[in-house]
Structure formats: structure tokens, C-alpha cells
Amino acid sequence: MMDIKLNGVDKWFGVPITISIGKQFNTISITTNSKYTDDHFMGQPIYGVFTSLKDQIGTQLIITRPLP
């Protein structure tokens, strides 16, 4: 679950999400439950790129190479 801001303003709270990490461990997609966001994202995931992944206490889990 996550809270979502829109233009810097808290908009939706406690939204169920699905997080998927790409096969090469350097991309991420976050899919929100449309019912909780007034279908704002129209079923489309939010994509991103990352270079490291840490657990909740800060232990490094993954370090990736930047995309070409």
C-alpha cells in the first residue's frame, strides 16, 4: 500500500499497489488499484529506473549497472 500525491498535494491514501522489478533488476513498475485512485492512471503502470535497492533498515540488496 502507498499514499499518492498529485502535484505535490496528498490525494489518495492507502492505495493497494503491485510492484514489479525487471529481469535485469534495474527497472521497476508500480501498478495502482484504479478503484482507489478514481482511475487517474487509467490502468497504466508507473515506470522507473533504479541503481540500488535497500531493505527497510538500509541493508543493500541489489546494485545494478546503469542502462546504456
What are the tens digits of pLDDT across the range 17-50?
Answer: 999 998 888 889 999 999 999 999 999 999 998 8
pLDDT for res 50: 86
How many Å apart are CA 2 and CA 14, to the nearest integer? 5
How many Å apart are CA 57 and CA 26, to the nearest integer? 21
pLDDT for res 67: 60
In this prediction, residue 10 has a pLDDT band, given cuts at 50, 70 and 90, of very high
How many Å apart are CA 24 and CA 27, to the nearest integer? 7
Model confidence, pTM: 0.73
Beta strands in 7-66 (DSSP E): 9-15, 17-21, 27-32, 46-49, 52-54, 60-63
